[in-house]
Chains A and B, each alone.
Chain A
Amino acid sequence: MTATMQPKSEAAEAPRRGKRTPGTGENTRPRRGPMQFGHWWWALPGIALVFAIHYVATGIGGFFAFTNWTGIGSFKITGWTNFEAIFKDPTKLGALSNTLFLAFGSVLLGNIAGLVIALGLNRVVKTRYILRTLFFMPVVLSPLATAYIWKYIFDFDGPLNAFLTAIGAGDQAKPWLADPQWAIWTVLVVLVWSSTGFAMVIFMAGLAGVPVEVEEAAAIDGANLWQRFRNVTLPAIRPAVAIATTLGIVQGLRVFDPIMALTGGGPAGATETLATLVYKQAFALGNFGGGAALALVLAAIILIFAVLQQRLTRSNPED
């Protein structure tokens, strides 16, 4: 509304404008490019702070990836030794595959669940806003608090086993988080639980932009529910899908707090990820050089997916 009013009020003030800034008035309209807003040096504090905290610190950390530094005292530059050690060590390769499994698993399941709920809530459902609030609630909780709740649920004396016993499947009861085979799935459940609401709101925003008329037209032409979803809804929410999935992957690759609080990487490394391993190497085991090398590998993996994200969002026609 205000935007459409703008030309009018400007036109009304046009005669006065000339008086206030003589000489420049005639030039302002066509000379859009050279007109400067703000001083360039306003950006300096922000750039300096980001440079110091992100780039200098990361650069120094990156340098130590090529050393045998323990975190204190002197060190020697050892070249690529730390990286060779990573790719020879099965526990580190295990952590790499766990990282990828959890990142892609949580993105896939969280987004499917988010999309299904968003589709369910889309249009006419009367209590959609209450339901939306409820499904979003886990997103605002701290990862630490979330992890403690689920730790109890998966506890041997916890609700999950009590439920299994109650429905007569008591023989399936097990200490879920201490079971090498099941632990990573329990972590996956927790990650999906806390990210579903996030995917849901992005999809709901995307779905709100799908015109009703097009969907109606497709329905009248005899398209069934699946065809309507596949050919009308999905193409329209493609940008939302790209955003939700790639953000989820970048977040999922460096997930740390929930795993640390849930399993600490155990049992026997079954839920170890690159992020938890970096922490253990650098802070607990006094192998800062090795931890830094691992962090560099993690950074490279995240960067690759971030570039893919840029490609994905670029290719959408709205840009």
Chain B
Amino acid sequence: MFRYTKLTLLREVGLWALALVFLAPFYFLVTTALKPDNELFTTSALAPPTNPDFSNFIDVLTATGNSNVVMGLVNSAIITAGSIVGLIALGSITGYVISRSTRRWSKGAYYLFLIAIILPGQLGAVPLYMGARALGLTGSAWGLIILYTGMLLPLSIFLYANFFRGLGTDYEEAATIDGASKSQIFSKVVFPMMAPATGTVTIFAGLIVWNDFFTSLIFLGGSANQTLPVAMYYYIGSLVSQWNSIFAIVIVSMIPILALFLFAQKRFIQGFSGGLKG
């Protein structure tokens, strides 16, 4: 009975109309970024540029100092990749142990992580900053990687633990019987099986770290290791209503994540909907 009828066609056309309205902000983003300065206030905000101009983008990519966007891209990539590695390594092993252990403390540890997910970060921000400064971790990519790993670890452990709970122990029993050691079982049997959970953690953590502004602003404050959102913030801070220049850097900042999303959109969406079912 669920065939393609005229009504379905109508529904499809309606959805496309809705999508166009929904994505209108992207239209303004691109058309405005391509407008040369003299067109910005003379043409209607709704109209496309009459003489498209890429000079705004060249300005963005050649900016120096605090708003060095290319350096920001590199730093963001290093910090995001480092945090993901930390979150997968620590999250998988911790999630594995607390979901497989039958001892009483493991349940307590599970709730420890669950509550940590919902604690608002601002309360700990100042003590954390003082602690990080005392340890010499502010202003460096390493410090931020450790910090992000710690901040997002509860989420990572939670996702892994839920995944293990749904996974039988048959393979691990079989491996034990075949004489594999505990660390062999984890690295050779269990870790490859948790690829879906690893994918979800990568996507969640990657998005959060890549897009995060507040933490990197505070902990990298003024150093040469600015991340992309901070570089964008400083770049835009020097512009007032220069929307064409502002949008050029907004586009540059979102190209990597949008490209990755469009390239691996199935993974992304499955990660989002699958990881949260638990």
> Which residues of A approach B to under 8 Å, CB–CB?
3, 6, 10, 13, 17, 20-21, 24-25, 28, 32-33, 35-40, 42-43, 45-47, 49-58, 60-62, 64-65, 71, 117, 120-121, 123-127, 131-145, 148-150, 152-153, 155, 157-159, 161-163, 166, 193, 196, 198, 201-202, 204-205, 212, 216, 219, 239, 243, 247, 250, 254, 256-257, 275, 278-279, 282-283, 288, 291-292, 295-296, 298-299, 302-303, 306
Given A71-B126, A148-B246: A298 in contact with B236 (beta carbons within 8 A): no
- What would 12 more interface pairs be, CB under 8 Å, given A33-B102, A133-B262, A144-B213? A37-B176, A38-B101, A40-B101, A55-B116, A64-B126, A148-B236, A148-B246, A161-B45, A196-B22, A201-B272, A204-B273, A254-B120
Complex interface: chain A residues within 8 A of B179 (CB): 20-21
In the assembled complex, how far is the CB of residue A261 from the closest CB belonging to chain B, in whole angstroms? 8
Complex interface: chain B residues within 8 A of A117 (CB): 15, 18
Complex interface: chain A residues within 8 A of B1 (CB): 216, 219
> Which residues of B approach A to under 8 Å, CB–CB?
1-4, 8, 11-12, 14-16, 18-19, 22-26, 28-29, 32, 41, 44-46, 90-91, 93-94, 96-98, 100-103, 105-106, 109, 112-113, 115-116, 118-128, 131, 146-147, 149-151, 153-154, 157, 168-174, 176-179, 182, 185-186, 190, 207, 210-214, 229, 232-233, 236, 241, 243, 246-247, 250, 253-254, 257-258, 261-262, 265, 268-269, 272-274, 276-277
Measured CB to CB, the nearest residue on chain B to A198 is B272
Query: In the complex, which of the residues A53, A126, A162, A283 contacts B44, with contact meaning CB atoms closer than 8 Å?
Result: A162
Q: How far is the CA of A161 from the CA of B120 in the complex (A)?
A: 37
Complex interface: chain A residues within 8 A of B172 (CB): 37
Q: Contact between B213 and A142 (Cβ–Cβ < 8 Å)?
A: yes
Q: How far is the CA of A150 from the CA of B32 in the complex (A)?
A: 13
Q: Contact between B177 and A20 (Cβ–Cβ < 8 Å)?
A: yes
Q: How far is the CA of A10 from the CA of B54 in the complex (A)?
A: 65
Complex interface: chain A residues within 8 A of B276 (CB): 202, 243, 247
Complex interface: chain B residues within 8 A of A21 (CB): 177, 179
Complex interface: chain B residues within 8 A of A138 (CB): 25
Q: How far is the CA of A292 from the CA of B186 in the complex (A)?
A: 42
**Among B94, B168, B262, which residue has the most Cβ atoms of chain A within 10 A?**
B94
Complex interface: chain B residues within 8 A of A298 (CB): 120, 122
Q: How far is the CA of A193 from the CA of B123 in the complex (A)?
A: 28
Complex interface: chain B residues within 8 A of A38 (CB): 93, 96-97, 100-101, 182, 185-186
Complex interface: chain B residues within 8 A of A145 (CB): 232, 250, 253-254
Q: Contact between A53 and B214 (Cβ–Cβ < 8 Å)?
A: no
Q: How far is the CA of A142 from the CA of B150 in the complex (A)?
A: 21
Q: How far is the CA of A147 from the CA of B169 in the complex (A)?
A: 47
Q: How far is the CA of A144 from the CA of B98 in the complex (A)?
A: 36
In the assembled complex, how far is the CB of residue A160 from the closest CB belonging to chain B, in whole angstroms? 8
Q: How far is the CA of A42 from the CA of B183 in the complex (A)?
A: 10
Given A58-B119, A62-B123: A132 in contact with B182 (beta carbons within 8 A): no
**Among B22, B106, B119, B182, which residue has the most Cβ atoms of chain A within 10 A?**
B119
Q: Contact between A143 and B211 (Cβ–Cβ < 8 Å)?
A: yes
Measured CB to CB, the nearest residue on chain A to B121 is A254
In the assembled complex, how far is the CB of residue B94 from the closest CB belonging to chain A, in whole angstroms? 3
In the assembled complex, how far is the CB of residue B244 from the closest CB belonging to chain A, in whole angstroms? 10
Q: How far is the CA of A150 from the CA of B276 in the complex (A)?
A: 29
Complex interface: chain A residues within 8 A of B176 (CB): 28, 35, 37
Tally of A-B Cβ pairs under 8 angstroms: 287
In the assembled complex, how far is the CB of residue B41 from the closest CB belonging to chain A, in whole angstroms? 7
**Among A20, A125, A282, which residue has the most Cβ atoms of chain B within 10 A?**
A125
Query: In the complex, which of the residues B28, B101, B112, B178 contacts A153, with contact meaning CB atoms closer than 8 Å?
Result: B28
Complex interface: chain B residues within 8 A of A296 (CB): 123
Measured CB to CB, the nearest residue on chain B to A38 is B97
Q: How far is the CA of A237 from the CA of B43 in the complex (A)?
A: 48
In the assembled complex, how far is the CB of residue B182 from the closest CB belonging to chain A, in whole angstroms? 6
Q: Contact between B46 and A163 (Cβ–Cβ < 8 Å)?
A: yes
Q: Contact between A53 and B122 (Cβ–Cβ < 8 Å)?
A: no
In the assembled complex, how far is the CB of residue A201 from the closest CB belonging to chain B, in whole angstroms? 5
Given A134-B19, A144-B229, A162-B46: A243 in contact with B277 (beta carbons within 8 A): yes
Measured CB to CB, the nearest residue on chain A to B18 is A117
Q: Contact between A202 and B127 (Cβ–Cβ < 8 Å)?
A: no
Q: Contact between B2 and A149 (Cβ–Cβ < 8 Å)?
A: no
Given A20-B178, A54-B154, A123-B2: A295 in contact with B122 (beta carbons within 8 A): yes
Complex interface: chain A residues within 8 A of B169 (CB): 32, 35, 37
Q: Contact between A43 and B261 (Cβ–Cβ < 8 Å)?
A: no
